[in-house]
Amino acid sequence: MSRQPNCEHEPRGYRPTSEQILHYNRRDFLKLSALAAGGAFGTLSLPGLGIVPEAWGAPPANRLVRIHCGSMQDWNFSDPNFSAYVKQSAYNDMFARGITSLTGQQNVISAWQNLLVGYQPGHKIAIKLNLNSYDYNANQTCEMAYAVIESLKLFGVSAANMKVFDVVRKFPDYWRARWNSDVAYVNDVNVAWDGNATVYFPAIDTTHRFPTVLSQADHVIAIGLQKGHKSYVTGSMKNHFGSQELPADLHVERYDNICQLAASPFVRGKLRLIVIEGAFMTWDHEGHAFEETEATALFPVGISGHSSPNYMMFGVNMVTMDSALGAIQNYERAARGEDQWPNEFITMAAGAPYNLGTRDNPTFVSNTAGWSQVDMRFNTYEYISYDLPLADRKQIDALNLKLRAGHIHWSQLQHLVERYNERL
């Protein structure tokens, strides 16, 4: 039987007093951050990380990090308002651990220094969302965007120098109603097009414009979803149909167009990080609502009583990322008795003339230490997979000592405390 660790579980026999709990509130974090100011960018060994951080430098194209947290959401799969059930504190922690693991760095500041190649203060950062569906269907959550934004703010990027975007959709009403960040968003209502920033699609002999939110950006972070698009995985490359002006045109000879778009200097040349939000998944089509994932050895029934992927995936290369996402999608489709998607565009992108990366197909192997009974193994990818470690008071106390000594950034303690307080 598969183990089902709760990443917000509190060990038996350890019960903090009410006074101790009150000590770790948001007001106190302001005091703690001041204590850490002198050494805020020091070293940190993340508790329970599962790997030993190394001096990797900028992450190579073939590295993937997959982080699972069984309680990142507790949706009942009936209320259409799925995004009301995700846990911001878990998202923040998963994201921080993802970028530090991807880069081999010991805090989020150093991780961003590796990821944002050539970054200078004042640089503009565009964050691509996947909001291709409508109403309460399979869309990005605000919480995923918040996790990225708040982490960038810790690095020193101002809200004025960030924008989130999907320029071919009027964002769903519920999404816009929930958005409370000071970072502006760009959709099809307020988009501005740059006639000097274009991509030519030879397969359909058409040229399309990019928006200024992308053309004027110095760095791009793409956040997507684990979902299908009819007969292929949406992935990280297809996500950029929402980065240019006429996606409907691109569905003719679509595989060639996916690759051509991904290879353009405004996408490939600016992309610094890909993050996949895998709290939920659609096995078939992104226009369908999220549904409970078919229970398998890869996605067993979790602590909510439902089966969901409950993960984030991190990488810097589109071919690498889409290879893994396609394999995950097909594993779940096979459990439903559905056909396997060949995802030909990934092979095309890996070959000439695009040469965007190396495609690799995983084998599924026994997972003796994690939430699921099996996990993926690749021949050429550096694939790291682990469960988010427990958040308990002992960890909080230990990390607080590191903070007071000036050895960690205060946000690392905040992640643990917020996840812990969420249960009180």
Tens of pLDDT, residue by residue over 30-40, are: 443 333 332 22
Tens of pLDDT, residue by residue over 71-97, are: 789 898 889 899 999 988 889 989 999
Look at residue 395 in the predicted model and tell me its pLDDT.
73
Q: What is the DSSP letter of 84?
A: G
The CA distance from 250 to 241, in Å, is 8
The CA distance from 140 to 242, in Å, is 13
Instruction: From residue 95, give the alpha-carbon distance in Å to each of 278, 314, 316, 333, 341.
Output: 12, 9, 14, 27, 29
Higher pLDDT, 17 or 212: 212
Whether residue 47 has pLDDT greater than 70? no
- The helix (H) or strand (E) run that includes residue 396 is helix 393-404
Whether residue 48 has pLDDT greater than 50? no
Q: What is the DSSP letter of 291?
A: -
Q: Is this model's pTM higher than 0.75 or not?
A: yes
Q: Tell me the percentage of the chain whose pLDDT exceeds 70.
A: 81
Give residue limits of the domains in the chain: 61-386
Tens of pLDDT, residue by residue over 339-365, are: 999 999 999 999 999 999 999 999 999
Look at residue 161 in the predicted model and tell me its pLDDT.
98
Q: Of 350, 381, 375, 346, which is closest to residue 363 (Cα–Cα)?
A: 375
Contact 234, 227 (CB under 8 A): yes
Higher pLDDT, 122 or 391: 122
Higher pLDDT, 67 or 399: 67
The CA distance from 130 to 235, in Å, is 10
What's the burial of 12, exposed, middle or buried (CB within 10 Å: 0-12/13-18/19+)? exposed
203-227 average pLDDT score: 97
* CA 21, 27, 31, 37 torsion-angle sign: positive
